[in-house]
Amino acid sequence: NALSREKPQLADCLSTSKVLVVGAGGIGCELLKNLVLTGFKNIEVIDLDTIDVSNLNRQFLFQKKHVGKSKAQVAKESALQFCPSANITAYHDSIMNPDYNVEFFRKFVLVMNALDNRAARNHVNRMCLAADIPLIESGTAGYLGQVTVIKKGMTECYECQPKPTQKTFPGCTIRNTPSEPIHCIVWAKYLFNQLFGEEDADQEVSPDTADPEAAWNPEETAARATASEKDGDIKRISTKEWARSTGYDPIKLFNKLFKDDIMYLLTMDKLWKKRKAPIPLDWQPTLEMSSQGYSETPGLGLKDQQVLGVWGYCKLFQQSVETLRSQLQEKGEGAELVWDKDDPPAMDFVTSAANLRMHIFSMNMKSRFDVKSMAGNIIPAIATTNAVIAGLIVLEGLKILSGELESCRTIFLNKCPNLRKKLLVPCVLDPPSANCYVCASKPEVTVKLNVHKTAVLTLQDRILKERFGMVAPDVQIEDGKGTILISSEEGETEANNSKFLGDFGIRNGSRLQADDFLQDYTLLITVLHTEELERDVEFEVVGEAPDKAPPPQSNKEEVNSITNGNKDSAQPSTSSKAPSEDDDIMIVDSDEDEGASSSAAVAAAVGTKRKHSDAGTGETSTKRPRTDQSSAAAAPTDDDDDIIALD
């Protein structure tokens, strides 16, 4: 082929180099096809997900006959039809499984991400830093996309710049394991369409029986998927068909959605080993509690900004269903309603349904004003965007294998041309941030919290795992005694979970050392005690605004070119030259890959003890010696390229 004629050494390198593809969804399918057609012969691909019908419109390595099967395995089989001589290894697993340790990553000359969630992106970023392997990061959001290269000591890592709050989530999270109010709001919008609007297979609201986290055995996952026509012994019909058969009875709808479906979720017991289980709601007991005075009363202030009690939302649900039912009847047989945040009955329905689900999953309920402000549009997955981004990944990979890291770029794909009439905008790679809490030589961070109100479990789950992306942290207090506060060994420090940090002598200025040996990562945390945090704020990271994007770029032309198009969407970004919007907004369903949450990874990780005894003292150390990273290399300064070239 042309590559063999022009660069024979590179062509030989492709046939011998081993590369890892993380994800076999929208980008991953296109990427795997591109790799084998370009001449890559040794490829390993990993994906936890199984194939769903909704994937088939853009993940072209899959067909209808493959529904319910492993994405990684089917992608391998399909890619081999393009190049039977290729050597492809497929793993139906989570990349956050501790089996895929630093030594595993060191087998590869290059890692390529095709992921759909931040937890897995953070983890792969850290593993590649620990293994000193180049990583190509990518993402798409509707018509927008980005590709960037991450190399230890030379470029920014994925976590160098603070990321805004992720706005959309995989379908299994929406249907089975919501953990934030936005999950419940998206579920309620889907429910509106399933009951009153245009039914969409991508917007299913019933429990997801094929949730990969609920069944880690591939055969069991496939069996659940193929058997998903039945829930227990009840033949499944469409949500709208069932609702019509009840005459849109609001009480029957209530008990189906908030009692029966929740009780079915509870039978998927693997989901609740590391999470608080949901509590079903029953209309009649709720009504009885209300009549006995147990229902909360709304507070003062504007009506839209009040948070009602559970019974208040029950009544709002009933009223909105009856109103929407009347609107359907007026439109005639086969009519459909369109959800509009400015339509009061539609907004009442989403507000009440979302809040009831929040209550069931132990979240603080939200006012109608808050729900309305959070109920934004869902960004679709565009097959062409995935194809363009997958092609750019391979082009950057060829530069890396040619030894031309200095010519690598962060490339933005925009919806509309920039001032130079270009859809693709290359930017030079930024050097590492000196203050990064991941890739700095000695990562440190300061956290402001109330030591008398912050429990050890909050430190572990909300701060270390959720905020700082650790999988199975070990924490010791730097108090001269090496007190172990949290151990990744199951059961070893569970007695500490409900205690407050202040109970262990932690006070203003105390320092904690948090280690994650799977990621070969240590973070030093300085605690600042305060009693002045805002309501519902558990902690703050000092010096960072985690819900805000990096500061805007001074180059006006570049900013205009990047942010042109849908201002509510976002581009995946690690670069400070990126747009000031979310980096990895993804389609809200389980179509891409890696839906595994940190808690699932912890469940897999806790069986491995990673402490090392000190030969001199006989004491147990919670951290291996760590070598400092090399100093940052100078990055190119020429940022005027409009054409992406290999040389």
Q: Is 605 annotated as a binding residue?
A: no
95 is in an annotated binding site: yes
Pair 624, 612: CB distance under 8 Å: yes
Q: H-helix or E-strand containing 82?
A: helix 71-82
314 is annotated as contributing to ligand binding? no
Amino acid at 195: L
Instruction: Check whether 408 is labelled as a binding-site residue.
Output: no
Spatial CA neighbour of 484 closest among 443, 515, 508: 515
Residue 175 assigned as binding residue: no
278 exposed, middle or buried (CB, 10 Å; 0-12, 13-18, 19+)? buried
Residue in the structure block whose two tokens are 């054409």: 643
120 annotated among ligand-binding-site residues: yes
Six-digit token string for 402: 């040619």
Q: Is 119 helix (H, G, I), strand (E, B) or coil?
A: helix
Q: Is 119 annotated as belonging to a binding site?
A: yes
% helix / strand / coil in the chain, to the nearest 5? 35, 15, 50
How many CB atoms are closer than 10 A to CB 398? 20
Residue 439 counted as an annotated binding residue: yes
| Distance separating alpha carbons of residues 440 and 13, to the nearest angstrom | 32
- Candidates 29, 83, 128, 172; catalytic one: 172
27 is in an annotated binding site: yes
The span from the CA of 200 to the CA of 193, in Å, is 8
Distance (Å, whole) CA 454 – CA 503: 10
Q: Is 150 annotated as a binding residue?
A: no
Say if residue 420 carries a ligand binding annotation: no
Instruction: Tell me the β-bridge partners of 135.
Output: 111, 150
- The annotation status of 121 as a binding-site residue, yes or no, is yes
117 is annotated as contributing to ligand binding: yes
* Residue 596 counted as an annotated binding residue: no
Nearest CA among 374, 425, 396 for reference residue 579:
425
**Would strands 444-449 and 540-541 be described as parallel, antiparallel, or unpaired?**
antiparallel
Q: Which residue has the tokens 């081999």?
A: 80
Half-sphere exposure of 319 (CA within 13 A, CB side): 12
Is 467 annotated as contributing to ligand binding? no
- What does the alpha-carbon distance between residue 413 and residue 30 come to, in Å, rounded to a whole number? 16
Q: How many residues does the chain have?
A: 647
Kindly state the helix (H) or strand (E) to which residue 384 belongs, with its residue range: helix 383-401
Q: Which phi-psi region, left, alpha or beta, contains residue 504 (left: φ > 0; alpha: ψ -120 to 50)?
A: alpha
Contact 29, 53 (CB under 8 A): no
Q: Is 55 annotated as a binding residue?
A: yes
Q: Is 461 marked as binding a ligand?
A: no
Contact present, 437 and 170 (Cβ < 8 Å): no
CB atoms within 10 A of CB 101: 18
Has 47 been labeled as part of a binding site? yes
29 is known as an active-site residue: no
Please tell me whether 332 is known to bind a ligand.
no
d(CA 72, CA 48): 8
Per-residue DSSP letters for 285-350?
HHHHHHHTT-S----SS-GGG----HHHHHHHHHHHHHHHHHHHHHH-TT------TTSHHHHHHH
* Residues annotated in a binding site for ATP: 23-28, 47, 55-58, 71, 94-95, 116-121
* Residues annotated in a binding site for Zn(2+): 157, 160, 436, 439
- List, by residue number, the catalytic residues: 172
* Residues annotated in a binding site: 23-28, 47, 55-58, 71, 94-95, 116-121, 157, 160, 436, 439
